[in-house]
C-alpha cells in the first residue's frame, strides 16, 4: 500500500530545498496551502520515506507534487473537503457504500489520489485498510462523522473491486 503521507495533522508533503512544503491541517481543519507544515511533518515525511520510499509510486508522487502550484494545492484542498462532506452527507442519508451516488464520490476520491501517483485497485484497497488501522487516519475521518472511516473504507473496497 502506498500513500504520500496525509496524516492527522499534515496533508500531502514534499521537500523543496530545505523546506517541507504542502498543505497542513490543524485540529480545527484549517488549511495552510503551499506553506511549511508543522514541526511533526518531518516525522511524517520520514515515516513515508521509510515505509514507501523505495516504491515507484512514492517516487512518482514526489515528482508530481514538485510541479504543483499554490493554486493547485488550494484546488486540491477544496475538492477533497467537498468530497468528504458529500460522502458524509450520503452516509447520514442512509446510502449504502455500493450505491451509485456513493461510488461516484469514491471515484472522485480515487481520482484525487491519482493526482499524486497511479493508484491501482490493490493500492486503493491498501489505503482503505490503512484508513481503519492507522488511528491518525481514522481520527481524521471521524471528524466528519464517527462512522465515516468504516463507510469510506467499505466504499473504497467496492470501487476497487470494480477496477479489477
Residue 53 confidence (pLDDT): 72
Domain map (residue ranges) of the chain = 54-163
Q: How far apart are CA 61 and CA 114, in angstroms?
A: 9
The set of residues, in sequence order, having a beta carbon less than 8 Å from that of 58 and lying 6+ positions away, is 2, 4, 48, 49, 52, 117
Residue 43 confidence (pLDDT): 63
Residue 41 confidence (pLDDT): 53
Which CATH code fits 54-163? 1.10.490.50
Cell numbers placing 135: 488511528
Residue 54 confidence (pLDDT): 78
Rounded CA Rg of the chain: 15
Q: How far apart are CA 84 and CA 19, in angstroms?
A: 29
Q: Is 134 helix (H, G, I), strand (E, B) or coil?
A: coil
Can you list the residues of the chain whose pLDDT is less than 70?
Answer: 1-44
Q: In this predicted model, what pLDDT tens digit does every residue of 88-100 receive, in sequence order?
A: 999 999 999 999 9
Residue 129 confidence (pLDDT): 93
Residue 61 confidence (pLDDT): 87
Amino acid at each position: 500500500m502506498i500513500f504520500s503521507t496525509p496524516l492527522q495533522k499534515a496533508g500531502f508533503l514534499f521537500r523543496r530545498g530545505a523546506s517541507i512544503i504542502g498543505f497542513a491541517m490543524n485540529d480545527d481543519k484549517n488549511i495552510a496551502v503551499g506553506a511549511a507544515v508543522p514541526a511533526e511533518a518531518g516525522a511524517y515525511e520520514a515515516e513515508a520515506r521509510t515505509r514507501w520510499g523505495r516504491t515507484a509510486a512514492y517516487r512518482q508522487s514526489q515528482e508530481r507534487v514538485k510541479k504543483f502550484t499554490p493554486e493547485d494545492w488550494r484546488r486540491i484542498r477544496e475538492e477533497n473537503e467537498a468530497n468528504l462532506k458529500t460522502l458524509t452527507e450520503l452516509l447520514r442519508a442512509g446510502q449504502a457504500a455500493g450505491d451509485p451516488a456513493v461510488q461516484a464520490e469514491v471515484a472522485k476520491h480515487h481520482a484525487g489520489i491519482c493526482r499524486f501517483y497511479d493508484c491501482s485497485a490493490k493500492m486503493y484497497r491498501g489505503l482503505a485498510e490503512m484508513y481503519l488501522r492507522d488511528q491518525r487516519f481514522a481520527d481524521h475521518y471521524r471528524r466528519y462523522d464517527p462512522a465515516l472511516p468504516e463507510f469510506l473504507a467499505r466504499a473504497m473496497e467496492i470501487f476497487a473491486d470494480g477496477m479489477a
